[in-house]
């Protein structure tokens, strides 16, 4: 499911649920990819999002994947 969020008049961002978020409704995050990668909590969207540059996001994902058992 995608949500359209308007940050300002010129920019619209498409959010998508993380593939690692379960279907049970808990611990879910959404990601939006554009000039930067944004990550937010689906249960508290009003609190904003964390912003990552492309290289920061790639580094975070590589680190997380390396730590998986």
pLDDT tens readout for residues 6-41: 343 224 678 888 776 666 666 788 888 888 888 888
**Cβ distance 40 to 28 under 8 Å?**
no
Provide the 10 A C-beta neighbour count for residue 5.
15
66 vs 24 pLDDT, higher one: 66
**Cβ distance 4 to 11 under 8 Å?**
no
For 49, phi then psi, to 5°, come to: -140, 155
Read off the pTM: 0.69
Helices (H), 1-69: 54-67
Strands 11-17 and 2-8: antiparallel
């Amino acid at each position: 499911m995608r949500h359209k969020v308007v940050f300002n008049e010129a920019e619209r961002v498409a959010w998508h649920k993380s593939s690692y978020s379960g279907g049970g409704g808990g611990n879910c995050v959404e990601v939006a990819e554009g000039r930067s990668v944004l990550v937010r909590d689906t249960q508290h969207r009003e609190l904003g999002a964390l912003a990552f540059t492309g290289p920061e996001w790639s580094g975070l994902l590589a680190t997380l994947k390396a730590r998986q058992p």
